[in-house]
Amino acid sequence: MFSKKNNTFIIAELSANHGGKLEIAKETVRAAKRAGADAIKLQTYTADTITINGKQDHFKITQGTHWDGQYLYDLYKEAYLPWEWHKELFETAKEESLICFSSPFDFSAVDFLETLNCPIYKIASFEITDVPLIEYTAKKGKPMIISTGIATIEDIELAIDTCKNVGNNDITILKCTSAYPAEPEDAHLLTIPDIISRFNVKSGLSDHTLGIEAPVVSVCVGGSVIEKHFILDKTIGGADAHFSLDEEEFAAMVKAVRTAEKVLGKVDYELSSKKKKSREFCRSLFIVKDVKEGEVLTKENVRSIRPGFGIHPKYYYEIMGKKFNEDLKKGTPLDFKFIN
């Protein structure tokens, strides 16, 4: 598994948020570090490696998305990250002590990323059915992160089996909703613990909702990876700007996630020194009325009250009806030595 300092591995997805300028891309890497990300993720494709320049209707986007009316080839030609930038971006990330990795979209992208010692590979949601790509990538022996945006259970099983069949067992399956942006009610984050138990793999969230609530909740249901689209400045525009977080928003997400990790903590029934001290304020049995030797213990002269310096309340009914063996003042913590 990729190393991480915290419980949750937080990935800033650069994607198309580079404005066609290398310097913007490099500064985005630096901003991701400032915002608290553990990693920056690229996408390695060209318009020609992900589709063909077809103008038939089935190459045109008409699904009620932000990109409707565009042809796939034209969208990817605009959005792709030039391969000649990758080396500098990997180097910039290294300078920032930030993990840099990518999503390959064909064999040539995998081969190229191998020359850069890419430490992790991410299979995008729409590529989960590309079994040859998953197999070729998994053979490199690097941790595999796979999104499930359009996947059936059978697709997920096949992707996992494909990795395992080539000896790669380091698999993280991300819950993902392939809508841009995704509505909160479509997130279904309870799928995350089901993925963990059903497939015996790590899980997390590739998030396309607006805001930071879904990533925080994902941690609370067992997610250990969060991927969120990241942009230096939304005025840069581009294919993914409308559902990406800027530096301030991403930093707020990271802070909230780290707080959630602290709040979740661990299974803990031990009494810390603070808890032990606080137990002084728990209930115990006290004498609440001046009593004389020989007087009977009743609900009028003995009560369960705060603080906790008297006998445990569990003995209340056991001691009722017994007698005091000495005179005692109101406010005295009850002790067995006072009772016959």
What are 114-173's pLDDT values in tens digits?
999 999 999 999 999 999 999 999 999 999 999 998 899 999 999 999 999 999 999 999
The pLDDT score that the predictor gives to residue 328 is 98
Q: What CA–CA distance (Å, rounded) separates 95 from 26?
A: 11
Report which DSSP code applies to 209: B
The dihedral built from the CA positions of residue 287, 293, 297 and 299, taken in this order, carries a sign that is: negative
Token pair, residue 156, equals 């997920």
- CATH fold of 9-45+80-264 reads TIM Barrel (3.20.20)
Helices marked H in 190-320 — which ranges? 191-199, 213-220, 247-264, 273-278, 316-319
Overall average pLDDT of the 187-213 stretch: 97
The pLDDT score that the predictor gives to residue 118 is 98
C-alpha distance from residue 131 to each of 60, 86, 194 (Å): 25, 25, 23
| Helices and strands: H and E segment counts in the chain | 12, 10
Q: What CA–CA distance (Å, rounded) separates 194 from 259?
A: 24
Overall average pLDDT of the 308-324 stretch: 98
The pLDDT score that the predictor gives to residue 68 is 80
CB 37 within 8 A of CB 98: yes
Overall average pLDDT of the 52-57 stretch: 91
Overall average pLDDT of the 247-253 stretch: 97
Token pair, residue 62, equals 């008409």
The pLDDT score that the predictor gives to residue 6 is 58
Q: Among candidates 257, 160, 150, 154, which has minimal Cα distance to 203?
A: 160
Overall average pLDDT of the 162-190 stretch: 95
Q: What CA–CA distance (Å, rounded) separates 254 from 337?
A: 57
Residue 59 pLDDT > 70, yes or no?
yes
What average pLDDT does the structure give for the chain?
94
Q: What percent of the chain has pLDDT over 70?
A: 98
Residue 308 pLDDT > 70, yes or no?
yes
C-alpha distance from residue 172 to each of 111, 183, 267, 289 (Å): 22, 23, 24, 65
C-alpha distance from residue 37 to each of 24, 42, 62, 333 (Å): 17, 14, 34, 55
What are 257-302's pLDDT values in tens digits?
999 999 999 999 999 999 999 999 999 999 999 999 999 999 999 9
Which single residue is written with the structure tokens 């990250």?
81
The pLDDT score that the predictor gives to residue 239 is 79
The pLDDT score that the predictor gives to residue 163 is 98
Cα torsion at 80, 86, 91, 94 (round to 10°)?
60
Please state which CATH number belongs to domain 273-338: 3.90.1210.10
**What is residue 304's three-state secondary structure?**
strand
CB 263 within 8 A of CB 308: no
- Enumerate residues 6+ apart whose C-beta is below 8 A from 81: 14, 16, 18, 25, 42, 43, 44
What are 20-32's pLDDT values in tens digits?
999 999 999 999 9
Residue 4 pLDDT > 80, yes or no?
no
Residue 71 pLDDT class (50, 70, 90 cuts):
confident
Residue 3 pLDDT > 70, yes or no?
no
Q: What CA–CA distance (Å, rounded) separates 73 from 93?
A: 29
Q: At 315, phi and psi to the nearest 5?
A: -95, 5
Residue 1 pLDDT > 60, yes or no?
no
The pLDDT score that the predictor gives to residue 2 is 57
The pTM score is: 0.88
Q: What CA–CA distance (Å, rounded) separates 161 from 152?
A: 14
Overall average pLDDT of the 311-330 stretch: 98
What are 77-124's pLDDT values in tens digits?
888 999 999 999 999 999 999 999 999 999 999 999 999 999 999 999
The pLDDT score that the predictor gives to residue 76 is 86
In the chain, what are the domain boundaries? 9-45+80-264, 273-338
Return the bridge partners of 104, or none: 44
Residue 240 pLDDT class (50, 70, 90 cuts):
confident
Token pair, residue 253, equals 């997400």
